Amino acid sequence: MELIVQIVDLTKQYRNRRGVQHVSLELRKGDVYGLLGPNGAGKTTLLKLLTGLIRPDSGTISLFGHAIGESFESAMKRVGCMIESADFYDYLSAYEYLRLLGNYYHRIDKEAILYAIDQVGLTPYAHEKIKNFSTGMKMKLALAGAILPNPDLVILDEPTNGLDIEGIVLFRELVGRLSSERGITFLISSHMIHELEQLCNRVGILLGGELVHEGNVANLLMDGNSLEQFYIEQLTKRKEVYLHGQLAGGYSE
């Protein structure tokens, strides 16, 4: 399968010593990859590095065979993304907002805009002002923006925040359909472990800025455990290792 994302030994540290450390990861065409981790684990940092919003201290990132640091435009032209919360011009309608967004891409016409709106379930509200939208509706509009350019890779940071049950089901169906029918690769950061268990074929667990475990969801669940149970086990092990290191350091002083 085509290699879509290749991350090698990626490190980015902030002054507070948070960030990511020596992360290596590969995604192939059609993967739906879930990124799990507690707040502050480095999930959003990793996604920002992938989209060129921040620069790494070391390591390399390639998308579709193009290194971000050397060929940014070529690397990003097949990517759709939603990082953290989306910003909107509230005085625009949903359609007008996507038409404005479409100006940054090639060949985004009316049909493409209406298709994206329909895919996220906003057709009845296409010409309503965004200022009247609920949080969940704004999240759907952000998703529409991510799939608007007909990308081959979609990067989403907490995409189900603010969605009701119907919206979450719609999102799950949308990702499954685009992955299976069009071969789109997804990288999704989320706290919704149960949703990732149903949605993803692969997951990675990021703790303390390190990718401590990754694998196929089916293999991780072979012992009858849920993805949530596996995640908690990994989190507990990490805390035990950290505590042991602190105690060892204390005794050596």
pLDDT in tens, 192-224: 888 888 899 999 999 889 999 888 988 887 777
Find how far residue 101's CA is from the centre of its chain. 20
Q: Is the pTM of this model over 0.75?
A: yes
Question: What is the per-residue pLDDT for 51?
Answer: 93
Q: What is the pLDDT of residue 4?
A: 96
E strands within the chain?
Answer: 3-13, 19-28, 32-36, 58-63, 66-67, 79-82, 153-157, 185-189, 202-207, 210-216
- Whether pLDDT at 244 is above 60: no
Contact call for residues 45 and 192 (beta carbons, < 8 A): no
> pLDDT tens across 59-76, in order?
999 999 999 988 998 999
Main-chain dihedrals φ then ψ at residue 75, nearest 5 degrees: -70, -35
Q: Where are the domains of the chain?
A: 3-78+152-252, 85-150
Q: Are 98 and 110 within 8 A, CB to CB?
A: no
Report how far residue 24's alpha carbon sits from residue 154's, in angstroms, rounded to the nearest whole number. 19
CA dihedral sign of residues 184, 82, 165, 136: negative
Question: Side chain identity at 49, as an amino acid letter?
Answer: L
Task: Characterize the bridge pairing of strands 185-189 and 32-36.
Answer: parallel
Answer for the pair 42, 10: CB distance below 8 angstroms, yes or no: no
CB contact at 8 A, 75 and 20: no
pLDDT in tens, 94-115: 999 999 999 988 889 999 999 9
Burial grade of 248 (CB within 10 A; 0-12, 13-18, 19 or more): exposed
Mutual orientation of helices 165-182 and 135-147 as an angle, nearest 10°? 10
Chain-wide mean pLDDT for the chain? 88
- Which CATH number applies to 3-78+152-252: 3.40.50.740, 3.40.50.300, 3.40.50.2000, 3.30.450.20? 3.40.50.300
